Amino acid sequence: MDILVLAGGTGSRLWPRSRRTKPKQFLPLLSNRTMLQETVDRVRPLIEEGRVFVVTGSDYEELIREQLSDIPRNNVILEPSGRGTASAIGLAAIHMRRSAPDAVMAVLSADHLILRNEAFRQALQAAEVAAREGYLVTLGVKPSFANTGYGYIQCGELITEAHNHKIHRVQRFAEKPDQDTAERYLAKGNYFWNAGIFVWQTKTFLDAIGRHMPELRNQLNQVQASFGKSRYHDTLAHVWENVENITVDYGIMERAPNVAVVPVDIGWSDVGDWHTLTTLMSDDDSANVVIGPHVEVDTKSTLIYSDSGRMIATIGLDGFLVVDTGDALLIAPRDRAQDVKKIVDQLRTEG
Ligand code: GDD
Ligand code: MG
Longest distance between any two alpha carbons in the chain, whole Å: 65
| pLDDT tens digits, 186-224 | 999 999 999 999 999 999 999 999 999 999 999 999 999
CB within 8 Å of 7: residues ≥ 6 apart: 25, 26, 36, 54, 55, 56, 60, 64, 110
The residues pairing with 300 across neighbouring beta strands, listed in sequence order, are 318
Q: Which residue's alpha carbon is nearest to atom 18 within ligand 1?
A: 6
The pLDDT of residue 174 is 98
Q: Which residue's alpha carbon is nearest to atom 20 within ligand 1?
A: 9
| pLDDT tens digits, 37-94 | 999 999 999 999 999 999 999 999 999 999 999 999 999 999 999 999 999 999 999 9
Which atom from ligand 1 is nearest to the alpha carbon of 108? Answer: 16
The pLDDT of residue 271 is 86
The pLDDT of residue 30 is 84
Q: What is the mean pLDDT of residues 311-328?
A: 97
The pLDDT of residue 345 is 95
The pLDDT of residue 31 is 86
If one counts every other C-beta atom within 10 angstroms of the C-beta of residue 106, the result is 25
What is the C-alpha separation between 215 and 230, in angstroms, rounded?
24
Q: When comparing pLDDT for 242 and 272, which is higher?
A: 242
Which of 109, 150, 200 for mutating ligand 1's site (highest number of atoms within 8 Å of CB)? 109
The residues pairing with 332 across neighbouring beta strands, listed in sequence order, are 321
DSSP string, 46-73: G--TT-EEEEEEGGGHHHHHHHTTTS-G
Q: What is the mean pLDDT of residues 324-331?
A: 96
| pLDDT tens digits, 90-147 | 999 999 999 999 999 999 999 999 999 999 999 999 999 999 999 999 999 999 999 8
| ipTM for the whole complex | 0.99
The pLDDT of residue 319 is 98
The pLDDT of residue 26 is 96
The pLDDT of residue 350 is 80
Is the pLDDT at 351 greater than 70? The verdict is no
What stretch of H or E contains 299? none
If one counts every other C-beta atom within 10 angstroms of the C-beta of residue 43, the result is 19
Tell whether omega for the bond before 16 is within 30 degrees of 0, i.e. cis.
yes
Closest of 319, 322, 328, 330 to residue 295, by C-alpha:
322
The pTM (predicted TM-score) of the whole model is: 0.92
Q: Which residue's alpha carbon is nearest to atom 28 within ligand 1?
A: 150
The pLDDT of residue 318 is 98
CB within 8 Å of 291: residues ≥ 6 apart: 281, 304, 305, 306, 307
**3-state SS assignment for residue 140:** strand
Give the Å distance between the CA of 271 and the centre of ligand 2.
7
Q: What is the mean pLDDT of residues 6-11?
A: 92
Q: What is the mean pLDDT of residues 23-48?
A: 94
Q: Which residue's alpha carbon is nearest to atom 2 within ligand 1?
A: 8
Which of 4, 5, 6, 191 for mutating ligand 1's site (highest number of atoms within 8 Å of CB)? 6
Is the pLDDT at 251 greater than 70? The verdict is yes
Pocket of ligand 1 (CB under 6 A): 6-9, 25, 55-56, 79, 82-85, 88, 109-111, 149-151, 175, 193-196, 249, 270, 272
